[in-house]
Structures are given as C-alpha cells and as structure tokens.
Amino acid sequence: MTNTAPLLSINGLTKRFTGKTAVDHVCFDIGRNEIHALIGENGAGKSTLCKMLTGAYPIDEGYIAIEGEKVEFKGPADSIAKGINMVYQERNLIGYMTAAQNICLGSENRKGIALDQKAMRERAEQIRKQLGVDIPLDVPVEKMGAGAQQLVEIMRATSIQPKLLILDEPTASLGEGEIEPFLKFVKKLTTDINISVIYITHKLEEIFAIADKVTVMADGRKTMTANMKDITPDECVKAMIRGDKIKEVVIPPMDYEKQEQRRLLEVQELTYGGQTHTVPFHVNRGEVVGFYGLVGSGRTETMEVIAGIRPSEKKEFVLDGEKITGGDSFKMIQKGVILTPELRSNGMFPSLNLVENVCTLFVNKFATSLGMIKNKESRAFTDHVLQKNGTKYTSRNQLISELSGGNIQKIIIGRSVEVDNLKLLAVDEPTAGLDLGAKSEIYLKIRKLADQLDKGVIFISSELEELIKVCNRMYVFYGGNVVKELKREEFDRTAILSYALGGVGNGEQTSQNSPQPDGQ
C-alpha cells in the first residue's frame, strides 16, 4: 500500500533558550519531491528550527514525523540515519583535499586500516554522474570556485542518499553567472534522485524560480505557508517583516565638479600575482563608490592590495595628498583605511565575547603598560559601539558567534567607524546572507558615513541592485582591470552587466588579463 503521508511533518516544534522562545509551536509539512522555501529575517527562528530537524538541538515541545512515523533525535547521527541532511552556509570542506576525498569525508572507504582512494574516487564519480554535474574530482577544493565548492558540499550530502536535504543560503557566495545553473541543479535533485529540499534564502527571486511552497517565519512563529503559484513577492515580504523596518535609501544630489576638489584616494595601476592591473579609479570625501564585477574580476583583490592585506609586487597610489608605496594592514589602518572582509568569519573571533571582538582594533588604547586590559574602559567602549549601532544582544559577555549575521556585521562596521582618523572604509559583500531588514540598516549606515560623517566609502558587491540603490558612482571590473566608470545618472543594469562580462560598450571583448576560470 502506498504511503500517502507527507515526507516530513513538523508538529508544534518549540525551542526555548534562557529568557527567550526562539521557535514557537511551528507546524507545516514537506511533501515528496518538493522544494519548500523557508524564509524570514535573521533571528526569525529558521536556523533554530533546522537545528532541531537535524538533531543539533533537542526539542522542547512538539515532534517530527517522517513518512507518518514519529521520530526522536538524540543527535545529528540519528537525523542522518533517518534521511535528513543539511548543507550549511559556511563552507565545511578541507581545502587541500580533492573533491572526491571531500565527498567521501566521514564515510571513507577502507582497505584494512588504510584509506581506499580508488574506491572513493569511483564512488565520487558515480555520484557525479548521478547528479549530472561537471566538476573535476581530482583537484583540491581550495583551487575551485565558490560554485564548484557548493556542488561538492551537496554531493557529499547526497552521498548518504537522504530523503530531505536542507540548503542554507546556498547562493550567498556565488557570482551572478553561477546562480541560474545552480538553481537548475537544485530542481534536478527533486526529480532525478527523488529527494525533497528545504531551501533557506533571503532572495525572493530564487524561491519564485524553483520552489513549490514557501513557509515564512517571524519572531519564532510561522506566519504563512502557501503554494508559490498562489502568492506574490509583496505578500511574502509582508509576512516576514514589518513595513517600518524597510526604510528608503535617499541619495542626495551631487555636484561632481565640486566633488573632484575633495579627492581622497587616487589609484592608476597595481601589480600583484605576477600581473600589472590597470585600475584607474578615485574616491572623494562624502561619496559611496561601488565596485562591481563577476567572481574573479579583481574587485576584492584590488582593495586588498590597497588595504595592505594582499601581497603585491608594486603598489603606488595617493591617499589624502600623500603618495603611498607600501604598508601592511596595520599601517593602512593608522593612515585611516580599513577594509571589512568578504567573509564575516574573517572579521571576528568566534570563540571570544563581544568586548574582545569590539576592542580588537583598539588593543593599544585599552592596554596598560603591563599588557593588562583596562576592563572598565573597554566595557564602556563596547557598550557605546553596540548601542550606537543598534546591535541586538543578550550580554556583552556572550560569544559573538551567538549573534545573527546582521548584528555581527553591525559590530564589524561599527567598530571600524570608531578608529581614530578614519578616512576611507571599504566594505566587501557587507549584506551577504542578511535579511531585508538587516540589509536596509547596512545601506543606511553606509550612506550616513558618506553624507553625515564625510567619509569615503567603497562598497564591493556581487549584487548589482544594491549598488544601484546606494552608490554615487560605480567602477566595473573585468579581468583584474577597471573597464568602466559610471556616475549615478548613467547607471543601467544591462550596460553594467555587459561591461562586467567583458564588453566595452560596442559588443567587443577586452583581451588584456582575461579572467581565468575560478581557482585556475
């Protein structure tokens, strides 16, 4: 007899932490061969719910049923045994190991006590063929692009033949050209290998492209479950966020001729990685300048060289009238230049508390002559930064890794603004993985730096729409070079994408320093 029960039933799941209900009596079903989107603001309860589904958190109330059978998980191993697996937003790969070795990680084939590399390679090849993906299995994953790495993560998750795969912000680190093929791949998972998918994202265009149903969460509660064909994006937004949290970004009119007299940074050429890159750009005080380009275009690398993070054979630029020809990140911070990293994990110490993370740029300021930290002063400074930036937290002594992505980003940017003599702040993918409300707050914070504090801001992003929304001017990168400068009045999505793909405005392609495939 055919089992007509849903693949997964979530019945009144509740999770409480000290003084807070993180998930409050949530109920919904996941059908067979279904892509079910799960959306909501950061802190809405999505991650906590999924940690209960995967056995990482015990359930306080309610229960889970798989194909009509009530199940209990004592840990992740129990969840995996019952057919639930999850691919997290942060990569969980070992860089020096090949794709095949990573796919088999945790379930390696053995010959006696030795690993059977041949059997693992054959097993990985079988999975690759089954999923219809074209990635090299014998290349270390650290040499692969973000899209290929994401596929390796999913191949590993499907190697145990799950019934349900949970994908957490799977496209957050993918370039624009990688997203559409990835979405087609996810769709194939449900048809070709007969599994269901919970798809967690903040990108509404993605769920309307591939999802069958959506569940929306807000403040730990389910606010809506619906078929995608029956709802609109506006209805999803209304279900997940209060309208007053999305504030319009206002760009004041700019007199470009006057702005040119307020030059802060001017760059022409940089040499790194054995190549000389033509990067003519400048930043003036009181403006936000966007860096746009596809993955590998050189936008991040350029700013890393300027900020003293990336080694270079030759760098020469003018900062606030001073010619700069060298300097590590510490020296550049002293000169008023700070770059917040693309990966939030590189901008924090997850095992340290909020005080330690906020004060990490100010060790000299809060250290005594004996090397001891001035606790009273450092705590007061931390409170100032947290309150000034509207950070949501329980205690300044809690680990920063316990905060949502949006609140971590507020700390990373907020502490940078407090640096003495700050002149130029570069933010690299500052809204990656954030919800609509958190993105709105970051946009407003960036504009405030330029409009009210008269700082220069470089906004690096792979999301073109947010650059169009926030920036005064934009530089487009291709092959490690700047190929176009655009003023706000010239912003045109089609034209910008053409330049980013190598066009020069007449359909031709640039040839100098053409980008190599990711990781090559």
pLDDT in tens, the chain (520 residues): 567 889 999 999 999 987 788 999 999 999 999 999 999 877 788 989 999 999 999 999 999 999 999 999 999 999 999 999 998 877 788 889 999 999 988 878 888 888 888 999 998 998 888 777 788 899 998 888 777 888 888 888 888 889 999 998 888 777 667 788 889 888 988 888 889 999 998 888 999 999 999 999 988 999 999 999 999 988 888 888 755 556 778 888 888 888 888 999 999 999 998 999 999 999 999 999 999 998 778 999 999 999 999 999 999 999 999 999 988 988 999 999 999 988 887 888 999 999 999 998 887 788 777 666 788 899 999 999 999 888 888 889 999 988 887 788 889 998 998 888 899 999 999 888 777 777 888 899 999 999 999 999 999 998 888 999 999 999 999 989 999 999 999 999 889 988 988 755 433 333 344 333 333 3
pLDDT in tens, 304-336: 999 999 999 999 999 999 999 988 988 999 999
Q: What is the predicted pLDDT for the residue at 367?
A: 76
Report whether 213 contacts 31 (CB < 8 A).
Answer: yes
Report whether 249 contacts 447 (CB < 8 A).
Answer: yes
Domain ranges of the chain: 8-245, 256-336+421-429+455-513
Q: Residue 445's closest CA among 253, 419, 455?
A: 455
DSSP secondary structure, 58-93, as one string: --SEEEEEETTEEE--SSHHHHHHTTEEEE-SS---
Report whether 425 contacts 448 (CB < 8 A).
Answer: no
CA-based radius of gyration for the chain: 24
Instruction: Write down the H helix ranges in 389-500.
Output: 405-417, 436-451, 464-470, 493-500
Q: How far apart are the first and last CA of the chain?
A: 53
Spatial neighbors of 44 by CB under 8 A, at least 6 apart, are: 217, 218, 219, 220, 240, 435
Asked if 8-245 and 256-336+421-429+455-513 have one fold, the answer is: yes
Round to whole Å and give the CA distance between 181 and 131.
13
The residue type of 471 is C
**b/e per residue, 145-168, with b = 16+ CB within 10 A?**
bbbbbbbbbbbbbbbeebbbbbbb
Q: Residue 5 CA to chain centroid, in angstroms?
A: 36
The pTM assigned to this predicted structure is 0.63
Round to whole Å and give the CA distance between 411 and 433.
16
Round to whole Å and give the CA distance between 137 and 310.
29
| Residue whose token pair is 């680190």 | 173
- The domain made up of 256-336+421-429+455-513 is a member of CATH 3.40.50.300: yes
Report whether 41 contacts 218 (CB < 8 A).
Answer: yes
Spatial neighbors of 244 by CB under 8 A, at least 6 apart, are: none
Q: Taking the CB of residue 365, how many other CB atoms lie within 10 A of it? A: 13
3-state DSSP assignment of residue 338: strand
Q: DSSP state, 281? A: E
Spatial neighbors of 266 by CB under 8 A, at least 6 apart, are: 281, 282, 317, 318
68: tokens are 């009509």
Instruction: Give domain 8-245's CATH superfamily.
Output: P-loop containing nucleotide triphosphate hydrolases (3.40.50.300)
Helix axes 176-192, 146-158, angle to 10 degrees: 20
Q: Residue 52's closest CA among 26, 13, 16?
A: 13
Reduced 3-state DSSP string for 473-519 = EEEEEECCEEEEEEEHHHCCHHHHHHHHCCECCCCCECCCCCCCCCC
